[in-house]
Amino acid sequence: MSRSVLVTGGGSGIGRALARAFADAGDSVTITGRHPESLAQTDGGRGMACRMADVTDEAQVAALFDSPFDVVIANAGGGGAGKLRSVTLAEWNATLAVNLTGTFLTFREALREMEPGGRLIAMASIASLKGGATIPAYAAAKHGVLGLVRSIALEVAKKGITCNAVCPGFVDTPLAAQAVASVKGRFGMTEDEALAQVVADNPMQRLIAPGEVVAAAVFLASPAASMVNGHALSVSGGEI
């Protein structure tokens, strides 16, 4: 049976892979983002609904929910690197806004009309499970996302709705490419050396394929996961 699925941050990376997987499975998919060209590329003729929205804007998020969704994936996020002493208040606030407040606004609106059997899934990152010396704002925001997920899970448990988080390590997306380029430039490394440093904490010593993250989300959205609630599903090669 076709479901209605919302994926925020659907214009690239994990969001693009998620949206295409659900659409190819026959679901009715809505993707959101701030760049219409990127959303159109994600769609690629699949018939997705492309909606412009900034997840940090309360009114824009509310406008997305003119009809209820069966599956809502809060995927929009991001953040820069830098040790705490170099993080500005503006950078701190922006990182919390897109990662934590964006998830809060998305899930709050989703729950207003979500029916039993509904699924809320947050892309929380491995940074929700451990700290990072150069990502204090991002790790704080993602830890907050996981706390939000666990709290919502308790609230909705008796309604037949679940709320879970997928926690990937470094995924082979444009963001990972930027991280590799940054390490390469900062330390004068070769491409291979920089990649090896980026994936050093992953016991499998490689980037995670987007499809491996998608598989976790597809499972959490399935009837088979009806008793999985408040869970942080690590997709990290054993790093956590």
Distance CA 28, CA 71 (A): 10
Q: Burial of 12 by CB count in 10 Å (0-12 exposed, 13-18 middle, 19+ buried)? A: middle
Q: Would you tell me how many other CB atoms lie within 10 Å of the CB of residue 45?
A: 6
Active site residues: 138
Distance CA 123, CA 19 (A): 13
Task: Find the DSSP H helices in the chain.
Answer: 13-24, 36-43, 58-64, 89-96, 102-113, 136-156, 174-187, 191-198, 210-220
- Dihedral, CA atoms, 126, 130, 132, 135, nearest 10 degrees? 60
Residue found by looking up tokens 């291979």 in the block:
192
Residues 6 or more apart from 117 whose CB is under 8 A from it? 70, 160, 161, 223, 226
In eight-state DSSP terms, residue 183 is H
